[in-house]
Amino acid sequence: MTKKQKRKKGIKTKSAGRFGARYGRRIRKAITEIEGRTRAAHTCPKCERKSVKRIGTGIWKCAKCSYTFTGGTYIPHTPLGITAERIIKRIIERGGGDGGVEVSTDVGISIGRGIGKSSEKEAEAKGAGTGAGAVKVGGE
């Protein structure tokens, strides 16, 4: 009788081993990578402790402070979200006390009027082109 030899390279399948030989190597490798990032310890944005777990698609909950928040599907803080936060912080720091950010509450929407005919200042004076929630940054 021959003994089974142990692999020298170690375990290769990880969490995708449940699929066996199905679906192909690339897909199994991608699944392993995604599941590894999803199940890793993540930092809570409120209490700053590494105890955030995924409870649903894009829904994350801290085990310590019970803070529930939304984020990415597989990781709580997506690269695009981190970039957006950094930009917002920079705008607030540069703008001074009030942040230098004005939010327009004008709901009027003009579509196709004055495009290419008048300058941006004239359009602002008329109120054209500003929709609900339009944002002006730092007096530009």
SS3 string of 18-42? Answer: HHCCCCCHHHHHHHHHHHHHHHCCE
Give the model's confidence band at 109: pLDDT under 50 very low, under 70 low, under 90 confident, else very high. Answer: very low
Query: Taking 50 as the threshold, does the pLDDT of residue 37 lie above it?
Result: yes
Query: Taking 70 as the threshold, does the pLDDT of residue 8 lie above it?
Result: no
pLDDT score recorded for residue 138:
53
What domains lie within the chain, and their CATH numbers?
A: 37-77 (2.20.25.30), 95-137 (no CATH)
d(CA 71, CA 58): 5
pLDDT score recorded for residue 140:
46
pLDDT score recorded for residue 14:
85
pTM score of the predicted model? 0.56
Query: Taking 50 as the threshold, does the pLDDT of residue 91 lie above it?
Result: yes
